Structure formats: C-alpha cells, structure tokens
C-alpha cells in the first residue's frame, strides 16, 4: 500500500481511510484540494486498489490498519488529529484505534455500516459461499454499477467515478474471506472523540449504530439530507471541512 500526503506545511493532520472497492484518485481530489489549505492530509491507498501498485493484492483490513498504524508512529510520533474513515474505512479506522501506540484526537466514521459477518460449520459450504459471493461482487463492480448505485442511494455517475474497476479477482476473494468470522472493534469508538455520519439514504445503517449506545459505545451521530452512502466527502468540500473543524473543536452535538 502507499500513503499520499498533501499540505505538509500545515500542523494539523487529517488521515483518510477509503471505502471498499474504492479508489482515492481522482474522486477525492476536490476535497483534498480544499482540505490541504489548512490540514496536512494523508490518504492511504489500499493494496489491490491502487493504480500506482497494480501488482499488489488486497489481503485484509487488519493488514491495512497495521501498516497505517506503523506509518502514523513513524511519521507523526503516533499522534493524529483527525481520522476520517469512509464506509469500510471506518472498520480500518477501528483497527487503527485499537493500536496502543496510536493516539487520535477526533475520529469520524462516514457511512459506517454494520453487517452480519458470516460463520460456517461446514468447510464445503464456506468454499461455495466464497466462490459465489466473490463472483457476485466482481459482476456488480464491472457490469452492474447502476444496481449498486440504486442500493446505495447514489447516482451511477458518482459511483462509477469512485469504484476501482481494475481490481484483481484475488483481492475480492480475500475481502470475502476476511469477513468470515470477523469481529467489529466497536470499543475503539470509546478511545477517542468519535462521530458517525450517515446520509438520508442510510437510515437502516443509522438505526443499527444507534443500538451500540445501549452497549456503552459512545459517539455523536449526525444525519444529512439528500445524501447517499459515503457520498458526503464527494459533495460540498468546504461545508464538510467546516463540519470536521467543528467536530475537532467539540462543537457538534447529536
């Protein structure tokens, strides 16, 4: 994986963890171009989803999180002002936050989605599931992006510019294997000042995260009108940066 940095002259750090099957370039550049005026922006490009390293293969969010934590420790003495996780990037961020070497002031999970992770008693059934689900994901990614757009409450155009279609089938297969038996690190929300953002098209996801509060997980939750899954960062960059500023300064309440 690679890390790309912008606005290095700024003191305050903002690290972005991208979503599943997503490419950071060029889709995130309008936001980055605005954010780098005041922030030292760091973007992690995952293995298997980066044209700069076309031969790399994605293995797991745990591997990506370990590399990110090492980078934060090596480059920033383990301290990060803002960690912004988009969709699956929220799960990667959870793993980063669990690393004792890393201290994050503010964590924002945009489009955080809790999905039931599969478990299997039969090895045969597990292999069939991996093969079938991997095939479905690859087909949707390469041939049926309109279907995915409708599911996520976004336009086909906005989805198409975000997806990394050069992904290897092995990366998709590994991502499916990774989910089997995976345990969410919800407790990581309590390790920092945490926020969860959802668009109006994500009401089901929002209801699920609200249930976490009954288990003692603390975060501020905000909903945004006319917004699809993980779409916030692709809309009004200046407005989102103002919101991030408010979160950092503790001026947002549920």
The predicted pLDDT at position 157 comes to: 87
Domain range enclosing 196:
2-116+184-248
Residue 58 lies in a domain: yes
Residue 168 lies in a domain: no
Residue 105 lies in a domain: yes
Please state the pTM of the whole predicted model. 0.95
The predicted pLDDT at position 13 comes to: 98
Ranges 85-89, 137-141, 250-254: which has the least confidence:
250-254
Are the C-beta atoms of 83 and 107 separated by less than 8 Å? Answer: yes
Place 160 in a pLDDT band, splitting at 50, 70 and 90.
confident
3-state SS, the chain, equals: CEEEEECCCCCCEEEEECCCCECCCCCCHHHHHHHCCCCEEEEEECCCCCCCCCCCCCCCHHHHHHHHHHHHHHHHCCEEEEEEEECHHHHHHHHHHCCCCCEEEEEEEECCCCCCCCCCCCHHHHHHHHHHHHHHHHHHHHHCHHHHHHHHCCCHHHHHCCECCCCCHHHHHHHHHHHCCCCCCHHHHHHCEEEEEEEHHHHHHHHHHHHHHHHCCCCEEEEECCCCCCCHHHCCHHHHHHHHHHHHCCCCCC
pLDDT over threshold 80, residue 251? yes
pLDDT over threshold 80, residue 150? yes
Place 2 in a pLDDT band, splitting at 50, 70 and 90.
very high
In whole angstroms, how far apart are CA 3 and each of 20, 29, 130, 204? Answer: 17, 14, 30, 33
Structure-token pair, residue 230? 């993980």
Ranges 75-79, 129-133, 152-156: which has the least confidence:
152-156
Place 14 in a pLDDT band, splitting at 50, 70 and 90.
very high
Place 254 in a pLDDT band, splitting at 50, 70 and 90.
low
pLDDT over threshold 70, residue 168? yes
Residues 116-143: what's their mean pLDDT?
96
Residue 142 lies in a domain: no
Structure-token pair, residue 101? 């070497």
Are the C-beta atoms of 165 and 197 separated by less than 8 Å? Answer: no
Residues 162-182: what's their mean pLDDT?
95
Residues 12-22: what's their mean pLDDT?
96
Question: CATH code at 38?
Answer: 3.40.50.1820
Residues 115-140: what's their mean pLDDT?
96
The predicted pLDDT at position 1 comes to: 85
Structure-token pair, residue 197? 């953002």
Are the C-beta atoms of 91 and 113 separated by less than 8 Å? Answer: no
**Cα–Cα distance measured from residue 132 to residue 135, given in angstroms and rounded to the nearest whole number:** 5
The predicted pLDDT at position 158 comes to: 87
The number of distinct structural domains making up the chain is 1
């Amino acid at each position: 994986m690679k890390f790309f940095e912008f606005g290095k002259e700024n003191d305050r750090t903002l690290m972005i963890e991208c979503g599943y099957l997503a490419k950071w370039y060029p889709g995130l550049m309008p936001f980055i171009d605005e954010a780098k005026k005041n922030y030292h922006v760091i973007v992690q490009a995952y293995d298997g989803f980066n044209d700069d390293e076309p031969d790399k293969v994605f293995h797991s969010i745990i591997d990506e999180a370990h590399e990110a934590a090492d980078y934060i420790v090596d480059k920033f003495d383990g301290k990060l002002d803002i960690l912004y996780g988009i969709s699956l990037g929220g799960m990667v961020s959870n793993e980063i936050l669990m690393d004792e070497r890393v201290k994050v002031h503010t964590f924002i999970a945009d489009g955080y989605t809790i999905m039931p992770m599969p478990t299997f008693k039969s090895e045969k059934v597990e292999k069939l599931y991996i093969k079938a689900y991997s095939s479905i994901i690859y087909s949707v990614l390469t041939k049926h992006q309109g279907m995915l757009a409708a599911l996520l409450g976004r336009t086909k155009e906005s989805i198409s510019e975000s997806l990394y279609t050069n992904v290897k089938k092995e990366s998709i297969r590994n991502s499916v294997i990774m989910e089997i038996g995976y345990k969410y690190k919800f407790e990581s929300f309590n390790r920092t000042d945490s926020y969860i953002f959802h668009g109006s098209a994500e009401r089901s996801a929002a209801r699920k995260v609200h249930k976490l509060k009954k288990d003692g997980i603390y975060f501020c939750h905000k909903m945004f009108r006319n917004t699809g899954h993980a779409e916030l960062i692709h809309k009004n960059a200046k407005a989102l940066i103002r919101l991030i500023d408010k979160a950092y300064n503790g001026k947002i309440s549920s």
